[in-house]
Copies of this chain bind each other. A is one copy, B any other.
């Protein structure tokens, strides 16, 4: 990601070397997304590292911690909630005004939304690195929830981007 000009452009900084398929995809994700949902673990890892106003939208963080919304310089606001995922999704929809809701991660949050049958499109980016540890993305998934079709494959020299269309059975 750090090699991609689109990433740096979206955080209003100069940087990056490349503007190919990967950058196009980064641009597309930012532009079609109206609200984000993420888990507490992902937020906590990012909180100390992300530049301010990275998301440029409302971000709903699933956590039991009580915390007032974090209004950043720019237009990004982080909301902290321990409501059910269906209720959080409704709030994200209102905020997104017709644009996409993106379940940003991590794995546990993605699994909850998948298993609740709430996902229409699933994007995975496969990078040729063996991690050897970590939380598995495709653990604990209800195998009978969806019909899955390949909708797009975007190759690049660094990453393979796979998009799937999910239809609830």
Contact = CB atoms under 8 A, between A and B. Distances in A.
Interface residues of A, number: 23
Given A160-B160, A160-B162, A162-B160, A130 B143 contact: yes
Interface string A46-59: 00000000000000
Given A160-B160, A160-B162, A162-B160, A149 B132 contact: no
Interface in A121-169: 126, 128-132, 138, 141-143, 146, 148-150, 153, 155-160, 162, 164
15 contacts: A126-B162, A128-B148, A128-B149, A128-B150, A130-B141, A130-B142, A130-B148, A132-B142, A150-B155, A150-B156, A150-B158, A150-B159, A150-B160, A160-B160, A160-B162
A113 to B, nearest CB: 14
